[in-house]
Structure 1
Amino acid sequence: MDISVFVPGHITGFFNIENNVNPLKNGSCGAGFLVNRGVLTDISSSDTLEIEVNRGDYTVINEVLKILNIEKQVKITQDIQLPIGAGFGTSASSALGLAIGLNEFFNLGYNLEKCGQIAHRAEINLGSGLGDVIAQMGRGVVLRTKAGAPGIGEIKSFVNEKLVVATKTFGEIDTASIIQDPDYKKIISDAGLELKNRFVENPSIGNFLDFSFEFSKKTNLMSDEVSDLIDYFNSLDDILGSSMAMLGNTVFAFAYNEDVFKNLNIEGLDIYELDNIGIKYDKH
């Protein structure tokens, strides 16, 4: 039996950090969106514990295996379809897909929520993310209204329309170095909490894009090249809005038609769609 699990990537527009000594309550609130590329995890039989990943390292995989206490013979293959360390939530996609896949393969008896908690714990342990896992349990554009792992935190998927997303990545940002820095944490949390409260009052694509841009300005996390491209996108009539992926040295922009982005001929621009389906998995 083989198990395949796809978990979409997640880009955060704005957020506030809510730390807690309980790792399942540790997390963040805010808003982000899912894209139709992510991490595809395949679990199959093997004579040994075998791991293959097309990019990155095995850190997240090893952490999930450790939490589940699995040392059994199994082949784990992951196809990471997005840039790593650039604000796409790939470590969360990896952890969540693996937890779901191993649960199905070994009949561990966990529900989807519990698998999400395992993935969230792996993220917290590694300092690689705070809110991507629970957001990846949603669809489309996702508002995280209560911090924590799935089953403890709360989300609302509030937009499910067809949108085209373009991104350009200028390199990596070490998430842990920012979310664990006291000064950055205060700046981020103050700005993110205010914007989250405003967004709850009137959730819309326009406000998501506007508030994300406001957040990126207030937190002063943008590099010059990111800032320049965002300003360019925001000057174009056919683009709905643009901001910075949190946390990544990456620009994102929304439009209704992919030709809007293709006609710009920007080198290194990747084009996706908003993912309105969410997690997909099957046995074969």
Structure 2
Amino acid sequence: MAGEAAAFVPGHVTGFFSAHPDDDPRVAGSRGAGVTLSHGVTVRVRPAESTTVTLEGETIRVDPVERVLDALSVTATVDAETSLPLGAGFGVSGAMALGTALAANDAFERALSENELVTLAHGAEVQSGTGLGDVVAQAHGGVPIRLEPGAPGEGLLDGIPAQTRVEYVTFGELSTEDVLSGDTARLSEAGTRALSSLVERPTLDRFMLASRRFAREAGLLTDRVEEAIREVNAVDGEASMAMLGDSVFALGTGLSEAGYDPTVCQSHPAGARLLGDQTLPLESCEPSPPAPGRE
């Protein structure tokens, strides 16, 4: 019987990437690396006669979300809440697609596996032109490295085994669709070099260095982001551009020390998840009594 369900999906900041389009959305995607964030998107899904999508209480159209629901053959009310800025390089559309897939699967008892749901959400993002690698990274969590493009079964992920404080400042929006629909040859060449550098030494320091080089070599830096990166570097901090947005992110306290008033969060240690009954404290879970003869 259909009910209501909710999911949380971490935000995702991409430091660098190379684009790998394909007619099959399961195969299409990106190579690259990024950081998932403790700030994310909470998505609630409940059955309805027609589909409506809201973000922070305002009705909007999010094509990947509608594609996910169509693929599951359901109509629903989808309510999303987030503190992350939209269109600024934090993976909000991917998070909404993946959160909708997880929650709708539970609410409508579709009984699909995690990989099937990630594949569905990834394909919806690719077909909508709103992203190539956020969904698989958000399903993975941590500091994911996308070694091969595509959905589960096609792509390949690794990660940097680290957690970190993350600061970010947003100056405005950039259109992911406009960038991805244009000539991505220069961008992808820079992304390939960045990935090779990180795989050689998978550390946070190398990730940030590769990300800064990528932003410069790909020609994506905006004036405001470039200035912020320069100011963070001047105080011995680590900062780069959030792909694809007019935003800068830093690991540690670099933006704060450079005089900015950033939003602060942490890298997220795990990937997207359903939100169940949170009312039962762990302390109330008592061990089972010993089996007869085992005392």
TM-score of the pair, normalised by structure 1:
0.90
Of the three residues 115, 129, 132, the one matched with 2:131 is 129
Q: Percent identity?
A: 31
Aligned to 1:275: 268
Displacement of 1:221: 0.9
Q: Which runs of 4+ in 1 moved over 4 A?
A: 45-50, 260-265
Deviation digits for residues 215-257 of structure 1, max 9, x if unmatched? 01101111111100010011113x3x110011111000011xx
State the AA in 2 paired with 1:65: L
Paired residues of 1:56 and 1:84 also in contact (CA < 8 A): no
Q: 1:56 & 1:153 partners in 2: Cα distance?
A: 34
Aligned to 1:189: 188
Q: 2:49 & 2:150 partners in 1: Cα distance?
A: 37
1:250 aligns with 2:251: no
Aligned to 1:199: 198
Q: 1:77 & 1:57 partners in 2: Cα distance?
A: 10
Paired residues of 1:166 and 1:271 also in contact (CA < 8 A): yes
Paired residues of 1:138 and 1:156 also in contact (CA < 8 A): no
Q: 1:149 & 1:22 partners in 2: Cα distance?
A: 10
Secondary structure in 1 matching 2:240:
strand
1:57 aligns with 2:57: no
Q: Which runs of 5+ in 2 are unaligned?
A: 278-295
State the AA in 2 paired with 1:70: V
Q: 2:203 & 2:29 partners in 1: Cα distance?
A: 23
Secondary structure in 1 matching 2:172:
coil
Secondary structure in 1 matching 2:42:
strand
Aligned to 1:219: 218
Secondary structure in 2 matching 1:206:
helix
Question: Between Structure 1 and Structure 2, whose CA radius of gyration is higher?
Answer: 2
State the AA in 2 paired with 1:207: R
Q: 2:20 & 2:50 partners in 1: Cα distance?
A: 40
Matches within 5 A, 1:1-284: 1-44=3-46, 49-54=51-56, 57-59=60-62, 60-71=64-75, 74-161=76-163, 163-182=164-183, 185-237=184-236, 239=237, 241-255=238-252, 261-262=255-256, 265-267=259-261, 269-284=262-277
Q: What is the aligned length?
A: 273
Paired residues of 1:2 and 1:283 also in contact (CA < 8 A): no
State the AA in 2 paired with 1:43: V
Aligned to 2:285: none
Secondary structure in 2 matching 1:159:
coil
Q: What is the RMSD computed on CA atoms of the aligned residues?
A: 1.8
Q: 1:98 & 1:113 partners in 2: Cα distance?
A: 14
Displacement of 1:157: 2.3
State the AA in 1 paired with 2:135: V
Going from structure 1 to structure 2, the CA distance change for 1:254 and 1:57 (only over 3 Å counts) comes to: same
Secondary structure in 2 matching 1:117:
helix
Q: Which runs of 5+ in 1 are unaligned?
A: none
